Amino acid sequence: MILVISTCKVPFSEEEFVRPITEIVESCGYSFHIKRYHEKIDFDEYSKIIVCGTALRDFDYLNYVDVFKPLLNYAGKVLGICAGYQILALLYENRLEEVEKIGIHKVRVIEENPLMPKNEFYAYFLHIYALSRTNDKLKMLAVQNGEICAFKVLGKDFYGVAFHPEVLNREIVERFVSL
C-alpha cells in the first residue's frame, strides 16, 4: 500500500497536485491511501510514501514538519515532490533558500539513479524555496542553474525532486512506485 500525502492547505488544490499522482499510482496497479500533512500518520503501515507538492504561495505545511519526524526511522521508500522535497531537506537539517522558479527548465542529471533518465531532461518547476547546497546527509542527483533539483537521502531510499514529475515526467513517479 502506498501513502500519498497532500501538502495542500486548500483541499481544492489537491485536484492539481494530488489527483495526478494518485492516477499514476493507480495506473501502475498499486492501491493507495491519501492523508493530509497535518494529520498524525503511522508511516510504518505503508511500503512507499509520496509527499506531493502544493500551490506556489501555500506554505502552511512548513508549520507541520514535526509531523514528518517519524520518517527519520522509516524503513520504506519516500518520494518528496516540491513541498515534499522541502520537508525532506528540512528533516535532514538542510536550509532552504529563496529560489523562485516557475516553468519548464532543462535539468542536468549528475548522479545515476533509478528514477531519472541519464544526462538531461526538461521538467516543470513551481516553487519559491529550494536548495543550492546540501549537508553530508543528502546526495545531489540533478541540478538546474545552480539549484539542487533532485537529491537522495544517504543510506535510505528517500528521494526529493524540486520539480513536478506529474506534469512532464510521469515516468519518474512510475519508476518510484515500481522500486
Whether the CB-CB separation of 104 and 133 falls below 8 Å is answered with no
pTM over 0.75: yes
- Give residue-wise pLDDT tens across range 9-54: 999 999 999 999 999 999 999 999 999 999 999 999 999 999 999 9
> For the chain, which residues make up each domain, given as ranges?
2-178
- Give residue-wise pLDDT tens across range 125-159: 999 999 988 999 999 999 999 899 999 999 999 99
Fold adopted by 2-178: Rossmann fold (3.40.50)
In the numeric block, which cell numbers belong to residue 56? 506556489
Angle (nearest 5°) at CA 133 between 132 and 139: 120
Q: How many CB atoms lie within 10 A of CB 86?
A: 27
The length of the chain, given as a count of residues: 179
